[in-house]
Structure 1
Amino acid sequence: MRFSVYQESHIGGRKVNQDRMGYSFTRDAILLLLADGMGGHIMGEMAAAIAMQTVGSLFQQQAQPTIARPERFLEDSFLAAHQEIHRYRTMNNLPETPRTTIVACIIQHGHAYWAHCGDSRLYWIRQGQILLRTKDHSRLETLIAQGKVDPSARHTHPDRNKLFNCLGAPNSPIVELSRRAALQPGDLILLCSDGLWSTLPDHLVAQRLQEHTIVRAIPELIRTAVSIAGKNGDNTTALAMMWEGDDRLDESSVITTNTLPIGSITTTIQAPIDPEVMGEQGEQDVFNDAEIEKAIAEIRNAIHKSSKLTGKF
């Protein structure tokens, strides 16, 4: 496989960043993953972290080097994450269960498969055009589908943040699965939290990603969204992958997995949390942004050096 990937998050105007993002890949499969801990409930950042770690760990266990049944894996891993969040509540005797939205994508054999719960989105973009995007599991989207609200009200309607589906709720989540999508060189897969899409129109996001590489476009989009949202803005997070790339890419940003040993896994998803470290209320922010960026840089450098040594790119 040959692809470019970039991720970034900004705390916005909030005291805690409840968004989590990460990716893992073997020689023949990629997992892109983003979770947005829900405000209005306790410890949303913990729910997001548990979801990330559960799905990421299952991918690392089962990608040998591909996932046998991607759709089944996405559904099962989401349900497992939901159960782990409830288990965390029981272990820590919390008054309610933390909750999170989630979106994930698996790419292998030139095809993409994705699933989501809530309003964290995935966009499939080709040559500046949005081919598909996930539909939010919100009261507003239901009203739009019923013809009771005009689509132009998506950014202003009072019910736009009312969700009916997530991980951690009393009822089991509804995991919405995509159809299999055949990727072409230059195709983009974008995962983002509502801090991005609720502020920037879809056409602008697609345009920026068409005009610039993801390494430049994602930071610009996040800065723009944070600036527009102002001091009360939400956490803003995006993770993007360009498949196979094109002439615009800087070769140093391209990952080629052909040189990876069979059985190896590369990941930016953090290791499982030690409950003893978190304490009863789990108030510590489990991720250090500087450490994450350092890990990403080390991964890219190692792959780039390996590619140069073998003469393949």
Structure 2
Amino acid sequence: MALVTESAAVSHVGRVRANNQDSGYAGQSLFAVADGMGGHAGGDVASALALNKLLEIDGEYSSAVDAEFALQEAIVSANAILAEAVYEHPELTGMGTTLSALVRVGHSVALAHIGDSRIYRFRDGKLSQITTDHTFVQRLVDNGRITAEEAKVHPRRSVLMRVLGDVDSTPDVDLQVMDTRPGDRWLLCSDGLTGVVDNDDIAKALTDNPAPQAVADLLVKQSLDHGAPDNVTIVVVDISESFTGSTYIPQTVGAASRPVAYGGAQNRKSTRMPGLRLHPRGSGSQEPSHFEAQGDDYLDELIDEDRRRSRNRRITWLVGSIVVVLAIAAGLLLGYQWTQSRYFVGQTNGHVAIYQGVQQTIGPITLSHVFEDTGISVDTLPAYMQSQVQNTISADTIDAARATVQSISDTVPSG
């Protein structure tokens, strides 16, 4: 029996925001949510460009590792596209997007995540958050400085530590491969859902509704019932077992479902500091509309994060350089070993000799040496044989080379 998927994608502007900066997709094997930010137009552009690039990898893969690699390449390319868009449209400076994506391959899923959108797995009645938010307050929680409950109302809960955008050419994306099985239900969502609907209500919606579309619609309704201060985007993916292949109609929702429209506020000012994005939660929010480096060890955390990312980049570069050097050295060693498995007959000091190696040099390095001086004087050979020895005679093995020497010796005139 083959595993198949049934899915649904829904996106809603919410009750406060003027436009929808989220994008979502449910396709053949790819499922993704992107939550854009950056002010008027910027968030729309960021999430749409990123998701549209990701759609190119929707298809079949021989393994989840291959799918994971495809996700990584697509996300790096999407990040470059965002940087290029900012270069061509300076008014978009500071835009960015979260991205959480899943690719199903047989009994496995490849996951990619950056930002504070989330991926959940609902299995055997238990809801598990698979991804970790890349936010300032999550760092505080991880370090034991605040509790998860305190994080929900922390004044810096809007600050993202990692996003796709024009800040970093090598985005730090979380990648992993996990198993999946019949009965699993995967939920991808923007923080427009998780910011207002708690996990118990999400789990109940996943339990009570058999169809992905019904679950998605209910979760959007619950977000709206709680005021929906932000856009909300939901993708639900069910894993089931069937004798037949799955049929699907790709669903693209939110900003990516419309043509990308550049433009907007030409005089809009960037609301960013290096490595960070402020994730707006609606015009009715009392949170700061710009970055303020004060209080709550804010700068300390920023510096720690920058150092960590810089250290990781240095380690990655160093490890990559070592791997390349080792690969080159291994290639040279194998190549040299191969040359020393070859032989040829030539002359040395007026004598016929067997050489080990090949008749080439690399700079000052000669790839052959005299293996055996036969003692046969070249001058004693017939003219045609002298010419052959001077031009060298190739031999695949030492035995073949010695047989060639014997043939040469037989041409020496007697007496």
* Fold agreement, TM-score > 0.5: yes
1:169 offset after TM fit, Å? 3.8
2:71 counterpart of 1:77? no
1:28-58 per-residue CA deviation (whole Å, 9 max, x = no partner) reads xx10011000145751011000001111113
2:239 counterpart of 1:243? yes
For structure 1, the residue ranges without an aligned partner over 5 or more in a row are 246-254, 284-313
Distance 1:216 1:88 in 2: 37
Distance 1:75 1:212, change over 3 A: same
1:146-177 per-residue CA deviation (whole Å, 9 max, x = no partner) reads 00001122321112111010010412321011
For structure 2, the residue ranges without an aligned partner over 5 or more in a row are 267-415
Distance 1:96 1:259, change over 3 A: closer
What's the secondary structure of 1:81's corresponding residue?
Answer: helix
- Hey, what does 2:204 align to over in structure 1? 207
Distance 1:121 1:218 in 2: 15
- Hey, what does 1:5 align to over in structure 2? 7
- Hey, what does 1:307 align to over in structure 2? none
Task: Say if 1:193 and 1:238, in contact at 8 Å, map to a contact too.
Answer: yes
Distance 2:234 2:85 in 1: 27
263, 267, 271: which one aligns with 2:250 = 267
| Map 1:181-192 → 2, pairs under 5 A | 181-192=178-189
Distance 1:257 1:239, change over 3 A: farther
2:18 counterpart of 1:15? yes
Task: Say if 1:53 and 1:269, in contact at 8 Å, map to a contact too.
Answer: no
Distance 1:256 1:167 in 2: 40
- Hey, what does 2:54 align to over in structure 1? 55
Task: Say if 2:115 and 2:133, in contact at 8 Å, map to a contact too.
Answer: yes
Q: Which amino acid aligns with 1:33?
A: A
- TM-score scaled to structure 2, two decimals? 0.57
Distance 1:272 1:211, change over 3 A: closer
Distance 1:259 1:126, change over 3 A: closer
What's the secondary structure of 1:208's corresponding residue?
Answer: helix
Q: Which amino acid aligns with 1:173?
A: P
Distance 1:43 1:241, change over 3 A: same
Task: Say if 2:11 and 2:234, in contact at 8 Å, map to a contact too.
Answer: yes
2:163 counterpart of 1:166? yes
Q: Which has the larger radius of gyration?
A: 2
1:116 offset after TM fit, Å? 0.7
1:3-47 per-residue CA deviation (whole Å, 9 max, x = no partner) reads 22111111112100001001221xxxx100110001457510110
2:117 counterpart of 1:120? yes
Structure 1 stretch displaced more, 13-22 or 66-75: 66-75
1:123 offset after TM fit, Å? 0.2
1:234 offset after TM fit, Å? 0.5
Distance 1:170 1:42, change over 3 A: farther
- Hey, what does 1:287 align to over in structure 2? none
Larger strand proportion of the pair: 2
1:280 offset after TM fit, Å? 4.4
Distance 1:175 1:225 in 2: 28
Q: Which amino acid aligns with 1:220?
A: L
1:266 offset after TM fit, Å? 5.5
Distance 1:77 1:8 in 2: 23
Paired residues, number: 259
Task: Say if 1:3 and 1:256, in contact at 8 Å, map to a contact too.
Answer: no
Distance 2:216 2:250 in 1: 20
